[in-house]
Each structure stands twice: as C-alpha cells, then as structure tokens.
Structure 1
Amino acid sequence: MSSDERPDDEGRSDLSEDFQTQAGETDIVKTIVQSVSTAKNTDPDELPPLYHSLDAEALTDLWRSRSRSEEDNSLSISFVYSGCQVILSNDIITVKK
C-alpha cells in the first residue's frame, strides 16, 4: 500500500481520487452533502451545514433554473465545503479532497 492510500471500512484502498456522482433532479443540497460525506468516508451528519459555505437556497434556485437543453447546458459552480472542492458542472458533482 503506498503512502497516499488508506484502507476503508471494506478493506479497499482509497487512492485519493476525485469522487463523482450524477446530480439529477433530486435535492441538490442533500446530493452535495452525501457526495462529500462519501468522498471523505464520513457520516453526512458529521459534516457542517452547507449554508456555512454558501447560500444553499440560492444554489437550489440556480440549479432549478438552469437550462435542460444539451447545447446550452453550461452551468458550472465551484466552491469549498468541509475542506473539499465541490464542482457542479453539466449535472455532474465532482468532489476533490
């Protein structure tokens, strides 16, 4: 096991790779919190409230108002939450530790 790997609860190694998930039409705030908790291998309840990092209501409104057409789906948002960089782009959430 290299120095940047650590075993997780199931015995696999975490290679500190980016975590990605599909954002979809569900509650974007819950999806972000769940994505960060998965990337950090922690319980979502142990993370600080997302509104400590940004205006969660404004994020939700912006996410709901984005264009759904393929040629105009260019919304990209980036912010830091719980020590991770979170990037929302083209319905994909990327979490960088």
Structure 2
Amino acid sequence: MNATRFIISGRVQGVGYREWCRREAESLGLSGTVRNLPDGTVEAVFIGDSAAVDAMLTRCRKGPPAAEVVSIGLDPVDMKAVDGFVILPSG
C-alpha cells in the first residue's frame, strides 16, 4: 500500500474539485481523504497501489472542467487504509 499526500494549488476551490476527486479515486480503487485548506489549496491523501496513485496524479493535474491546477506538491505519509474515500470538512 502506498499513501501519498497531494497539495493541489490553483483554482481548485469552488469548482467541484473535492467531489470530482472522490469519484476519480473510487474509480481507481483508492481510499483516502480530501479537504479544502484555508490557504485556497486542496489537500488529498490517496491510499492504494503505486500505479493507481500515479494515475490519480495524472488526473489531478487536469482536474474537473472548471479547475485550473497550477501545481501539486507530493509527500509520502504513514497512513493506513480508510474505508472508502471521504470528503472531510474544510480545515
């Protein structure tokens, strides 16, 4: 299992990015979490096999139609699988 934290910046809040993230992650069999951060970025943690996490990175670079992704920061994290993919309250 691979767990990677993405910090996605650009126009990513108010454009359906979290819901889009949830659908895309589930389609790849990933578990994890996503939330808006106060600085205007989106934080997502994707947990699953490396190929699926890599595929999610490719998808996140584009995002949903109204998004404009500028950059994505990546950090490996020590997180166990969660049940499904959860949209967390903004934090």
Q: TM-score, normalised by structure 2?
A: 0.29
Greater radius of gyration (CA): 1
Q: Normalized per residue, which structure has more helix?
A: 1
Using CA pairs under 8 Å that are at least 6 residues apart, name the structure with larger relative contact order, 1 or 2: 2
Q: Normalized per residue, which structure has more strand?
A: 2
